[in-house]
Structure 1
């Protein structure tokens, strides 16, 4: 079914062409006819005049970002709010406008809100429609459209991701020189897939999809799109792995940075004390919360999941003001772990662990000895701590756990495996076991033997897994192979490798 698209809803600037898009959007001023026979009057139209004004085009499609641009953007959104310089027809992502030490220091993106979605279409017949519907394509398509060429675009929005904060203030960015040029932040972005190509030989009135979405189109599903993001063909797939191809960022929702100071900056930056290092309230108390207080507490939990520690603390502080009878300053409240996790994520690891310990001591349903309590608190720290305040031990345990997760549960990329392995090699000599029960530290050698090659294998590189394998062999095994001839040693090592990393057999 062909869908009609509002010109205003589809208006975007030629900003999304690349992470650094350089485009001339000057309008022709001479009224008359073009060589193609089209009138120049549209150049004087509202759409033409406003084509490069960010005030009017805050939802640009990013149709010309290549795979590298897309992966860079997705990497940035995984760790912080994305800031951009957006002026005229130029959009540049400011990858230095963030704090590498503390993930989410400027906010984070909430889990994606997935929708059922439907196929939408755009048809560009002249320059007026290009400006009104897809002005960000002026750089690459403008000359062809002025020559009489038409274009057809199909896109599918599978879901939308929103930021955990609704505004960014200029003073929020003042301490980071990398933010000096920032004009907007990415408040949200649509995920899905799109395809665009010349329509001169396409009859877009026949219905169905030209580029492979669904089975109702009369044209070949193999038709090549000149520009595409994701794969329209998998947007209705049932398999979760396959449908990943329909989760590519295709359109941004930008908001202008506000001048001055954040009115809530004092609450967000307050040092942790006996009041701020507090619980969020008991479960029974949660049932008695006012609607707004409950909403604040639930918003805190969402921001915690999204990785926005400071945003979580702000919501918990707001909850305290709304529900003073169940202030989060009481570790006996029952939900102190929420506050503790947010404190850890905000970059204050030790302070968060102190609150976690007090909350567990006061509210744990089962009695725990001090050793068990320390292990539980350390596990929380391993999961939630961030920033330079982490001790060598906390960083080491975190890297070990992340590597184990990448080896057995959550698939990561090769770079992730390399970073965690390098961190472990650097920190392991500095961290000594506390006692004979400190098994995570005592068994690092055995842990690396399995997790490092399996991490690389799950990341798709048997070559990397094999290359690193001789290095992570336990010393006892190395000693046993040492007396062998080189050929026999290589064969024994390979046999051991393939018995462990079965998906790399023969590769």
Structure 2
């Protein structure tokens, strides 16, 4: 599988140029300028839900790869949209927000017709660069689209203060609050053939493709969008439309409270029963939002929600800062880990276990559970070597077993960390089950499988060979030659057999 470029293809500029092609006559200019669309044709405030008709398959896949862990920021000025792929924190994914799981929808095909420049700028502003000259010449266009689902950001707002530390965010004017998945097709009306089941481009046409119109621009395949099965078909789940929101000025009002350093005093705050019923309901909403953001690995957003929850409902039994609150304290601890506060998060999690599970777990068991949770949740560049090692093995295992999708780059980063630290990180004692006694044997299958399930059998074989070459006398026997190595590899990684 070809590795995705570092968003080079997506760092393109979508230009809805105000002109192009043959120049309109002065009379045509005046007619266009008198319309609302003409007067506002380069104003993003009037086009904050643009269709992305100029993206190719590489742009779409790169967008989705980034959106898997981070909110995407753009510069949207005039009629120009530029994605800022560097506006993110690779060490703490989701630190500026992330996207919730897809909310799938059902419906029919929708259509848009473009008869003049006013409609072009109003309905397809990002397509004007390539279509405006033809529209000026009198050509008309027809587009059909189907929305199979929507992904929405975990943040309603993003503030300039959130982006100030990253110079690659300096140009950002908007963030992608949501994006629609589905398929679309666009063609000149002069090339349209007869409709089949109400569609020119094969929507629900089944095998009736003889008279289907060939699209000049398309995203996905409309013919693949068939009722409930649409959400299972990748060609009906490509990004087709963005919902953009302007970045707010100043700093997030909740940021100072959420990012304050954790201390023993703050971890043991006790409140008074002051909340009204309405306040408790609002607090519950923030708690639910915190859980959603944790699932989306938006640690900072989760902490913001918990801070608001605790302010609205300060009863000790529910305070996320109080270890005795149990689940709420555990949620806060995991979100601290996701936000890059790994040691503080582990300490809070361990205190929560001690406060609520002492009758069920001994100290060593609590330590193991805390380490396992940290391996799943800790992010950032300040992890201890042990936490880095446990996180790497966890990522390889989740990718290898198919519990969580991993990219080739993510598998490689985890594998490099594992190989680097396997001789450095030692077991605390004989009962330390988190650190395997024979790491090369323990990861001998799951590490190559991580690469294989990410689609790169070549990298999987390379990892398998690296593990084989590193084996010592206490490990499982080495493969003596390439033929034996390949035989063992095919047996452990059957999806790469013969590849």
Rounded Cα–Cα distance in structure 2 between residues aligned with 1:505 and 1:321: 57
Give the aligned partner of residue 4 of structure 2: none
Work out the CA distance in 1 between the residues paired with 2:119 and 2:231.
37
Q: Residue 82 of structure 1 aligns with which residue?
A: 72
- Distance in 1 of aligned mates of 2:227 and 2:168: 41
The CA deviation at 1:177 is: 1.3
The residue correspondences of 1:213-232 to structure 2 (distance < 5 A) are 213-215=203-205, 220=210, 223-232=213-222
TM-score normalised over the length of structure 1: 0.85
Q: C-alpha displacement at 1:352, in angstroms? A: 0.7
Partner of residue 488 from structure 2, selected from 476, 482, 496: 496
Residue 479 (structure 1) shift: 5.8
User: 1:435/1:330 Cα in 2 relative to 1: closer, same or farther (>3 Å)?
Assistant: same
**Structure 1 Cα separation of the partners of residues 278 and 101 of structure 2:** 28
Which residue in 2 is equivalent to 1:332? 324
How many aligned residue pairs are there? 477
TM superposition shift of 1:389:
2.4
Paired residues of 2:323 and 2:352 also in contact (CA < 8 A): yes
Find the counterpart in structure 1 of residue 59 from structure 2. Answer: 69
Deviation at 1:223, TM superposition (A): 4.2
Is 2:224 aligned against 1:234? yes
CA separation of 1:372 and 1:130: change in aligned 2, threshold 3 A: same
Of 417, 427, 436, which residue of structure 2 is paired with 1:441?
436
The residue that corresponds to 2:457 in the other structure is 462
1:238 is displaced (CA, Å) by 5.3
Q: Distance in 1 between matches of 2:268 and 2:199?
A: 56
CA gap 1:321/1:413 in 2 versus in 1, 3 angstroms: closer
Deviations 1:334-384 (A, max 9, x none): 222111111111111111111111111121285212221111000110111
Counterparts in 2 of 1:416 and 1:405: CA distance versus 1, 3 Å:
same
Which residue, out of 263, 277, 300, partners 2:290?
300
Contact 2:51/2:241 (<8 A) preserved: yes
Equivalents in 2 of 1:82, 1:385: separation in Å? 22
Farther off after superposition, 135-144 or 262-271: 262-271
Contact 1:208 1:216 in 2 (8 A): no
CA gap of 1:475–1:99, structure 2 versus 1, over 3 A, is same
Per the normalisation by structure 2, the TM-score is 0.87
> What's the offset of the Cα at 1:183?
1.1
Secondary structure, aligned partner of 2:45: coil
Change (3 A) 1:83 1:504: closer
Q: Determine the C-alpha separation between the residues in 2 that align with 1:40 and 1:69.
A: 37
Residue aligning to 1:50: 40
Match of 1:255 in 2: 245
Q: Displacement, 1:20? A: 1.6
SS in 2 for 1:152: strand
Change (3 A) 1:350 1:481: closer
Does the 8 A contact of 2:106 with 2:228 survive in 1? no
> Residue 178 of structure 2 contacts residue 243 of structure 2 at CA under 8 Å; is this kept in 1?
yes
3-state SS of 1:197 partner: strand
Q: Which residue of 2 aligns with 1:374?
A: 367
User: Which residue of the partner structure matches residue 146 of structure 1?
Assistant: 136
Q: 2:393 aligns with which of 391, 400, 418?
A: 400
2:445 alignment partner in structure 1: 450
Instruction: Tell me if structure 2 keeps the 8 A contact 1:277–1:351.
Output: no
Query: Match of 2:6?
Result: none
State the alpha-carbon separation in 2 of the partners of residues 462 and 51 from structure 1.
Answer: 49
Which residue is equivalent to 2:302? 312
Residue equivalent to 2:3: none
Q: Which residue of 2 aligns with 1:387?
A: 380
Q: Paired residue for 2:101, among 79, 88, 111?
A: 111
Contact 1:120 1:154 in 2 (8 A): yes
Q: Which moved more, 1:344-353 or 1:200-209?
A: 200-209
**What corresponds to 1:12 in structure 2?**
none
Alpha carbons of 1:97 and 1:503: their partners in 2 closer, same or farther (altered >3 Å)?
closer
Counterpart Cα distance in 2 of 1:244 and 1:170: 35
Unaligned runs of 5+ in 1: 1-16, 34-38, 483-488
